Amino acid sequence: MSGTELTVIWAGIIAFAVVVYVIMDGFDLGIGILFPNFKVGPDRDTAMNSIAPVWDGNETWLVLGGGGLLAAFPLAYAIILPALYAPLIAMLLGLVLRGVAFEFRWRDPAHRARWDFGFTAGSVIATFAQGVTLGALLQGITVEGRAYAGGWWEWLTPFSLLTGFALLAGYALLGCCWLIWKTEGSLQRQCYSYAGRLGILLLLAIIAVSAATPFLEEEYYTRWLAYPGVIATAQIPLATLVISVLFFRSLSKKQEAAPFFYALGLFGLSLVGLAVSMWPDVIPGRITIWEAAAPYESQMFMLIGAAIMVPVILAYTGWAYWVFRGKVGTDGYH
């Protein structure tokens, strides 16, 4: 295998980790976003219990994304992280706040309302910060030599705020559909009523982000809209349209699992769109995956580990989800 190919594989692995992260932590962050809307008592407890056994594993994909970037593309890691300093620190603090809330709300019923608030605040901050991070990366980062060369507010633009709000809508939708799948009764009814509105919100956000992206960088414009590439790229909005229709139909038929998977489909297509915009850059318009790549020996050593471990991880993660399959009881497993 050549180094060029190896680097492509690693770009694929990291993209995979990001996709799995967005999908998996997406729904549990989404539950945090929606949390204040749920009735205090059994509904909130059920919502929390539906993710308590899996949130930690979900979040580990974020560590794999970050750690993998450091290992396979150290230059990208070294430029992107300082460039997105403020939103990343906010994300980390948000994750701290919401991560402990899972435990603390049960330990301290007298202050449960506070930890519930922390759970929501942390989830909203982390989600918004992730969206901003994505937008800021997409709009471009000032690079000089091997380092970030912009100021500490460069990330803040209307576009990055838009992607922040878009992700809030997206994660909320995922969380909502997860609860439709995993719960019953009043909480499920409430989520059915939210899902349609959140779906519309997400579609509007997708349209806005998609419309703005080609005008951020000339390369994006060519990648998306120049003939004949446009024939291929046009399939993405078409597929989005089809899945949206299926999504709303599944909601109106009161299907339980299907809306979640269609929502995932919408997310997947957005991420494919992101890949179309960025490929083959890791820092759009500045640094390609090959320029940022770690040496062959480093990537090869890790590839062996990843090739063995990722299937194993997927297997036991799948098993853990299987153990907790079905509807969550109101008193939960906490």
Residues 71-130 that bind another protein (CB under 8 A): 71-72, 74-75, 77-82, 85-86, 88-89, 92-93, 95-97, 99-100, 102-104, 106-109, 118
* 305: phi then psi, degrees, rounded to nearest 5: -60, -45
Q: Is 203 in the site for another protein (CB under 8 A)?
A: no
Q: Is 285 in the site for another protein (CB under 8 A)?
A: no
- For residues 118 and 273, which CB has a smaller minimum distance to another protein in the complex? 118
- For residues 121 and 202, which CB has a smaller minimum distance to another protein in the complex? 121
Q: Is 40 in the site for another protein (CB under 8 A)?
A: no
**Shortest distance, CB of residue 269 to another protein, whole angstroms?**
27
Q: 30 vs 1, 36, 79, 209, 277, CA distance in Å? A: 41, 12, 29, 20, 26
Number of residues that bind another protein (CB under 8 A): 77
- End-to-end Cα separation, the chain, in angstroms: 48
**Shortest distance, CB of residue 148 to another protein, whole angstroms?**
6
Scanning 158-166, 194-202, 243-251, 310-318 for contacts with another protein by CB under 8 A, the matching segment is 310-318
Identify any residues that bridge with 144 across adjacent strands, giving them in sequence order.
147
Residue burial 32-66, b: 16+ Cβ < 10 Å; e: rest: bbbbeebeeebbbbbbbbbbbbbbeebbbbbebbb
State the CB neighbour count (10 A cutoff) for residue 261.
Answer: 16
Q: What string of DSSP letters covers 198-260?
A: HHHHHHHHHHHHHHHGGGT-HHHHHHHHSTTHHHHHTHHHHHHHHHHHHHHHHHHTT-SSHHH
**Shortest distance, CB of residue 156 to another protein, whole angstroms?**
12
> Among 123, 95, 97, 96, which Cα is nearest to 36's?
123
Q: Is 42 in the site for another protein (CB under 8 A)?
A: no
Q: Is 290 in the site for another protein (CB under 8 A)?
A: no
- For residues 280 and 329, which CB has a smaller minimum distance to another protein in the complex? 329
Q: Which residue has the tokens 């083959």?
A: 280
> Do 223 and 216 touch, CB atoms closer than 8 A?
no
> Do 198 and 173 touch, CB atoms closer than 8 A?
yes
Q: Is 52 in the site for another protein (CB under 8 A)?
A: yes
> Among 45, 23, 330, 17, which Cα is nearest to 178's?
23
Q: Is 32 in the site for another protein (CB under 8 A)?
A: no
- For residues 228 and 325, which CB has a smaller minimum distance to another protein in the complex? 325
Scanning 29-37, 70-78, 224-232, 277-285 for contacts with another protein by CB under 8 A, the matching segment is 70-78
Scanning 167-175, 232-240, 251-259, 325-333 for contacts with another protein by CB under 8 A, the matching segment is 325-333
Using alpha carbons only, give the angle 284, 288, 290 rounded to the nearest 5 degrees. Answer: 160
- For residues 40 and 226, which CB has a smaller minimum distance to another protein in the complex? 40
Q: Is 12 in the site for another protein (CB under 8 A)?
A: no
> Among 7, 23, 12, 130, which Cα is nearest to 74's?
7
**Shortest distance, CB of residue 104 to another protein, whole angstroms?**
6
* 168: phi then psi, degrees, rounded to nearest 5: -55, -45
**Shortest distance, CB of residue 218 to another protein, whole angstroms?**
27
- For residues 247 and 260, which CB has a smaller minimum distance to another protein in the complex? 260
Q: Which of 12, 151, 229, 280 binds another protein (CB under 8 A)?
A: 151
